[in-house]
Amino acid sequence: MASGTPSPDAGASPDATALRVLEPAGQPLAAAALTEQLGLWDRPSEPPVRPRVLLNMVETADGRATLSGRSGPVSGAADRELFHALRASCDGVLVGAGTVRAEHYGRMLRDESLQALRERRGMPPEPTACIVSGRLVLGEEIPLLRNPEARVVVLTASEASLPELGAQIDYVRTPGPQLDLAAAIAELGARFSIATLMCEGGPHLARELLAAALLDEIFLTVSPLLAGGEPSSGEALRILAGAEIDPPVGLRLLGTMSAGSYLFLRYAVGG
Could you give the dihedral angle defined by the CA atoms of residues 110, 237, 244 and 53, in that order, rounded to the nearest 10 degrees?
Answer: 0
Give the span between the Cα atoms of 112 and 109, in whole angstroms.
Answer: 8
125 domain residue, yes or no = yes
10-41 confidence digits (pLDDT tens): 445 556 788 777 766 777 888 988 888 888 88
Report yes or no on whether pTM surpasses 0.75: yes
CA angle (97 as vertex; 91, 102 as ends), nearest 5: 110
Domain that holds residue 213: 51-227+234-260
243 domain residue, yes or no = yes
Burial of 174: CB neighbours in 10 Å, binned 0-12, 13-18, 19+: middle
DSSP letter string over 203-248? HHHHHHHHHTT---EEEEEEES------GGGSSS--SS-SSPPSSP
229-247 confidence digits (pLDDT tens): 887 666 778 999 999 999 9
Query: pLDDT-derived band of residue 6, with 50, 70 and 90 as boundaries?
Result: very low
Contact predicate 53/208, CB 8 Å: no
247 domain residue, yes or no = yes
**Tell me, what's the pLDDT at 2?**
36
67 domain residue, yes or no = yes
In the chain, DSSP assigns E strands to 20-23, 52-60, 92-96, 128-132, 151-156, 168-173, 196-199, 217-223, 251-259, 262-269
Contact predicate 109/115, CB 8 Å: yes
Measure CA 121 to chain center: 21
Contact predicate 199/219, CB 8 Å: no
18 domain residue, yes or no = no
pLDDT mean over 247-270: 94
The domain that holds 135 is classified in CATH as 3.40.430.10
117-164 confidence digits (pLDDT tens): 999 999 999 999 999 998 888 888 899 999 999 999 999 999 999 999
166 domain residue, yes or no = yes
238 domain residue, yes or no = yes
User: Considering its fold, how many domains does the chain have in total?
Assistant: 1
180 domain residue, yes or no = yes
